[in-house]
Amino acid sequence: MKALVYHGPNNPVFEDKPKPVIQKNTDAIVKISKTTICGTDLHILKGDVPTVVDGRILGHEGVGIIDEVGSGVSNFKKGDHVLISCITSCGRCRSCKKQMYSHCENGGWILGNTIDGTQAEFVRIPYADTSLHHIPHGLEEEALVMLSDILPTGFEVGVLNGQVRLGDIVAIVGAGPVGMAALLTAQFYTPAEIIMIDIDANRLELSKKFGATQTIDSSAGNERVIQKVMELTEGRGVDVVIEAVGIPATFQLCQHIVKAGGHIANVGVHGKSVELHLEKLWGHNVTITTGLVDTYTIPVLLRTVQSKKLMPQQLITHYFKLSEIMKAYHTFSNAAKEKALKVIIENDL
């Protein structure tokens, strides 16, 4: 089969690999119908993720059709239409018992990381019973690709950890796919205002279509953003600020614009240490949360897509075939220039 393979920093190759086979009786083999590229894949390609070794097939998102199941899989059979969670969970360990699947002792984020991933014709999914979801009949596949990772990430680590409530003023720093997913799902709770902050004018414009009530271009630096947020909030700051970038400057910004009693929900993956201004925050009753996505909300998100309360297909800007995956990577890595948010890659092989 063909697959997108990591061969060290800046060296992805679309090449032949053996078709995966069942290794344990709890595995399933899924024929990929649609997959996508995540910002994390770009981090891997820069060499930022040392657990990914030469020869690894990338990708941790996708939908497909079950091709084969091990004898221990009871919930799925050949031909079933499935959504793949970016997090693999055994369902039995201590972390899984607490719904903290990201820390599953036998899984977690392994797809396209420590085992071969979804940017291929076929993928092996361990613990299939607890790592796959049935796709309800009649639902559009490409919308559901957004539910493998970015929607649960924005929702669980941003909106739910940040405790967005009716009437809140919410700020989201970062209008990438994850920030946009937080924007879409924050609206379940009817906040009064959602302020999107980014340096990319095109993404800010797009965020207005998705429900942002205010946008702030932060390319002139944090000072101007802080001033603008204070003007919008009568000097109080925001109830919830969701950090969806992952650099020191944006986490700093969050600390300046959160109001007393407010929440900072960090979603961004940070590679550098960040200053925490406890001398300012200590008396402000501020709650700071962090998290790795567990994807425990995939079933509820599926239902909201089914009832059209959530329309994740809005996040898709480009379409490619699996045979054109190198072109898809090129577009996605030049997102600002190409005006790209999420790309869909359809298996044409």
What is the binding site for ligand NAD (CB under 6 A)?
Answer: 39-40, 153, 157, 173-179, 197-200, 203, 218, 244-247, 249-250, 267-269, 291-293
In the complex, the smallest distance separating the C-beta of residue 251 from ligand NAD, rounded to whole angstroms, is 10
Residue 115 is classified by DSSP as: B
In the complex, the smallest distance separating the C-beta of residue 252 from ligand NAD, rounded to whole angstroms, is 10
What does 104 interact with, of ligand NAD, Zn ion, none (CB < 5 to 8 A by kind)? Zn ion
Contacts 24+ apart (CB under 8 A), 288-292: 288/263, 288/264, 289/157, 289/161, 289/162, 289/263, 289/264, 289/265, 290/157, 290/266, 291/102, 291/156, 291/157, 291/161, 291/266, 291/267, 292/102, 292/103, 292/109, 292/157
In the complex, the smallest distance separating the C-beta of residue 334 from Zn ion, rounded to whole angstroms, is 19
In the complex, the smallest distance separating the C-beta of residue 59 from Zn ion, rounded to whole angstroms, is 9
Query: Which among 167, 177, 222 is positioned nearest to 197, based on CA atoms?
Result: 222
Give the CA count within 13 Å in the CB-facing half-sphere of 61: 27
What does 120 interact with, of ligand NAD, Zn ion, none (CB < 5 to 8 A by kind)? none
Residue 20 is classified by DSSP as: P
> What DSSP line would sit under 200-231, residue for residue?
-HHHHHHHHHTT-SEEEE-TT-HHHHHHHHHH
In the complex, the smallest distance separating the C-beta of residue 10 from ligand NAD, rounded to whole angstroms, is 17
Q: Which amino acid would we find at residue 331?
A: T
Nearest residue to ligand NAD by CB is 176
In the complex, the smallest distance separating the C-beta of residue 224 from ligand NAD, rounded to whole angstroms, is 11
What does 93 interact with, of Zn ion, ligand NAD, none (CB < 5 to 8 A by kind)? Zn ion
CB nearer ligand NAD, residue 266 or residue 304: 266
Q: Residues in the site for Zn ion, rule: CB under 5 A?
A: 38, 40, 89-90, 93, 96, 104, 149
CB nearer ligand NAD, residue 247 or residue 311: 247
CB nearer ligand NAD, residue 3 or residue 245: 245
What does 90 interact with, of ligand NAD, Zn ion, none (CB < 5 to 8 A by kind)? Zn ion
In the complex, the smallest distance separating the C-beta of residue 173 from ligand NAD, rounded to whole angstroms, is 6
CB nearer ligand NAD, residue 135 or residue 245: 245
What is the maximum alpha-carbon separation in the chain?
62
Distance CA 307, CA 119 (A): 29
CB nearer ligand NAD, residue 137 or residue 337: 337
Distance CA 90, CA 96 (A): 7
What does 197 interact with, of Zn ion, ligand NAD, none (CB < 5 to 8 A by kind)? ligand NAD
What does 1 interact with, of ligand NAD, Zn ion, none (CB < 5 to 8 A by kind)? none
Q: How many helices (H) and strands (E) does the chain have?
A: 13, 15
Query: Which among 65, 210, 191 is positioned nearest to 134, based on CA atoms?
Result: 65
